[in-house]
């Protein structure tokens, strides 16, 4: 059942407020946007034009008799209904768009550059996994490995004399990524590196194969059964690390760049980008991460939150990092306009970066967390 209107929702005490809340969301979705609330935004309602977000919020609440303490509950119900009706479509569309872009050779070098912003979460997972300490043999899976930031960080954090006890399988859907990982392993002298082309987690792998598995910023593009399959492939006491963003750090940059375009009307609101990026699932919420890991079978789960200020490098390097996000945002424009829009956004981003450099580099504030889960020993 496709739930798009209040009258289609199941009976509930919230129904009296839903149409009002839909009106509120239509014009004031900026409340979920990390853009400063001190800015002013236009609203089609003449009486509300050019008011600050807090003032507009108060006016809407009064005008439509919405009780403030019920907003969160109404919003949660609306999100639940929308997720139930659209998550499968979003998952399919987002995964399809991502896979087609990710599989291109063009993206490989850009992913290598983007390791500057993904490595902090890789380090955090590895630190909590215990793979770099002790004397036991380890067999790790680097799932959706890209150019190998997890694998590289494992060997970077492990003393050279203990490298021989660690074996790593890197898997990705892009063979060129795996070729880069192989070259990187040869150059670094890493022993026991295996690569395998996989789209998500391969159910045909033997059970109890790995001691550790890592999914760095990729869980939201995988099938819903990925975590339970990972549980099956880990041996007793095995560790799974999953990282996710709590917010989209680059949205404000792309929003501001798109706002400079002659016709920026298709720029999607923050909430829509977050929803599509996470395939309609609330991976930005720690509670959802913990619940998903426990439902997959893991007995011990720990969520570690972190905020980091990350150096994105020079403007060209920063643009390379934003290649996939810009493609994502451009997907809201008509298909025939997307490539041109992406180029224009990148041009505006470069100009913005040139104006905001700090010691020749761009910096970004990141907020994310890692789910650390252990399979019960038997």
What digits encode the pLDDT tens for the residues 165-215?
999 999 998 888 899 899 999 999 999 899 999 988 889 999 999 999 999
Q: What percent of the chain shows pLDDT beyond 90?
A: 56
How many Å apart are CA 17 and CA 178, to the nearest integer?
52
Q: Is 20's pLDDT higher than 80?
A: no
pLDDT > 80? residue 63: no
Judge contact between 102 and 175, C-beta under 8 A: no
Any idea which of 62-76, 140-154, 292-306 has the lowest mean pLDDT? 62-76
pLDDT at 52 over 70: no
Q: For 79-90, how does the pLDDT look when each residue is reduced to its tens digit (9 = 90+)?
A: 433 333 333 344
Looking at residue 292, what is its pLDDT? Answer: 97
Which pLDDT value is given to residue 106?
A: 59
How far apart, in whole angstroms, are the C-alpha atoms of residue 236 and residue 226? 18
Range name among 100-104, 151-155, 291-295, 301-305 with the lowest pLDDT average: 100-104
Q: Are 102 and 174 in contact (CB under 8 A)?
A: yes
Q: How confident is the model at residue 42 (pLDDT cuts 50, 70, 90)?
A: very low
Q: What is the pTM of this model?
A: 0.73
Q: Give the chain's mean pLDDT.
A: 78
Question: Does the pLDDT at position 75 exceed 90?
Answer: no
47 pLDDT above the threshold of 50: no
Secondary structure of the chain in HEC code, one letter for each residue: CCCCCHHHCCCCCCHHHHHHHHHHHHHHHHHHCCCCCCCEECCCCHHHCCEEHHHHHHHHHHHCCCCHHHHHHHHHHHHHHHHHHHHHHHHHHHHHHHHHHHCCCHHHHHHHHCHHHHHHHHHHHHHHHCCCCCCCCEEEEEECCCCCHHHHHHHHHCCHHHHHHEEEEEEECCHHHHHHHHHHHHHHCCCCEEEEECCCCCCCCCCCCEEEEEEECCHHHCCCCHHHHHHHHEEEEEEEEEEEECCCCCHHHHHHHHHCCCCCCCCCCHHHHHHHHCCCCCCCCHHHHHHHHHHCCCCEEEEEEEEEEEEEECHHHHHHHCHHHHHHHHCCCCHHHHHHHHHHHHHHHHHHHHHCCECCEEEEEEEEEEEEEECCCC
Task: Check if the beta carbon of residue 17 is closer than 8 Å to that of residue 9.
Answer: no
Q: How far is CA 20 from CA 8, 14, 26, 82, 284, in A?
A: 15, 11, 10, 17, 27
* Per-residue confidence (pLDDT) for residue 115, from 0 to 100: 87
Identify the pLDDT of residue 287. Answer: 97
Confidence of residue 34 (pLDDT cuts 50, 70, 90): very low
Contact of 296 with 308, CB cutoff 8 Å: no
CA nearest to 239, candidates 157, 152, 133: 133
375 touches 212 (CB < 8 A) = no
Burial bucket for residue 334 (CB in 10 Å: 0-12, 13-18, 19+)? exposed
Q: Among the listed ranges 19-23, 184-188, 256-260, 358-362, which one has the minimum average pLDDT value?
A: 19-23
Which tens digits make up the pLDDT trace of 354-366?
998 888 999 999 9
- Residue 219 confidence (pLDDT): 94
The answer, yes or no, to whether residue 25 has pLDDT greater than 70, is no
Mean pLDDT of 108-137: 87
28 confidence band (pLDDT: 50, 70, 90): very low
Confidence band of 55 (pLDDT split at 50, 70, 90): very low
CB 187 within 8 A of CB 155: no
pLDDT score recorded for residue 329: 93
Structural domains of the chain, ranges and CATH numbers in brackets:
6-88 (no CATH), 106-374 (3.40.50.150)
């Amino acid at each position: 059942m496709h739930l798009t209107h209040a009258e289609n929702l199941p009976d509930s005490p919230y129904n009296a407020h839903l149409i009002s809340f839909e009106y509120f969301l239509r014009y004031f979705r900026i409340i979920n946007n990390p853009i400063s609330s001190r800015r002013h935004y236009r609203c089609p309602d003449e009486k509300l034009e050019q008011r600050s977000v807090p003032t507009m919020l108060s006016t809407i609440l009064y005008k439509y008799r919405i009780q403030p303490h019920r907003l969160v509950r109404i919003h949660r119900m609306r999100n639940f209904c929308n997720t139930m009706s659209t998550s499968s479509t979003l998952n399919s569309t987002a995964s399809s768009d991502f896979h087609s872009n990710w599989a291109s050779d063009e993206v490989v070098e850009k992913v290598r550059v983007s390791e500057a912003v993904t490595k902090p979460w890789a380090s955090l997972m590895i630190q909590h996994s215990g793979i770099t300490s002790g004397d036991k043999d380890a067999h790790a899976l680097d799932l959706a490995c890209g150019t190998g930031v997890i694998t590289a960080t494992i060997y970077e954090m492990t003393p050279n004399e203990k490298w021989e006890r660690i074996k790593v399988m890197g898997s990705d859907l892009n063979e060129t990524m795996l070729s880069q990982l192989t070259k990187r392993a040869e150059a670094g002298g890493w022993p026991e590196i295996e690569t395998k082309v996989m789209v998500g987690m391969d159910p045909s792998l033997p059970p109890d194969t790995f001691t550790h598995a890592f999914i760095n910023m990729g869980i939201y593009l995988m099938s819903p059964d990925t975590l339970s399959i990972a549980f099956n492939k880990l041996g007793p006491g095995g560790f799974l690390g999953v990282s996710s963003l709590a917010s989209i750090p680059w949205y404000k940059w792309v929003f501001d760049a798109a706002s400079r375009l002659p016709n920026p009307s298709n720029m999607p609101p923050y909430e829509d980008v977050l929803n599509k990026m996470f395939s309609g699932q609330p991976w930005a919420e720690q509670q959802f991460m913990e619940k998903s890991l426990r439902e997959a079978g893991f007995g011990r789960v720990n969520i570690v939150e972190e905020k980091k200020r990350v150096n994105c490098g020079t403007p060209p390097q920063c643009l390379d990092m934003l290649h996939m996000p810009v493609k994502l945002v451009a997907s809201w424009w008509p298909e025939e306009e997307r490539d041109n829009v992406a180029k224009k956004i990148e041009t505006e981003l470069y100009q913005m970066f040139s104006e905001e450099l700090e010691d020749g580099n761009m910096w970004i504030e990141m907020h994310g967390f890692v789910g650390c889960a252990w399979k019960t020993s038997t």
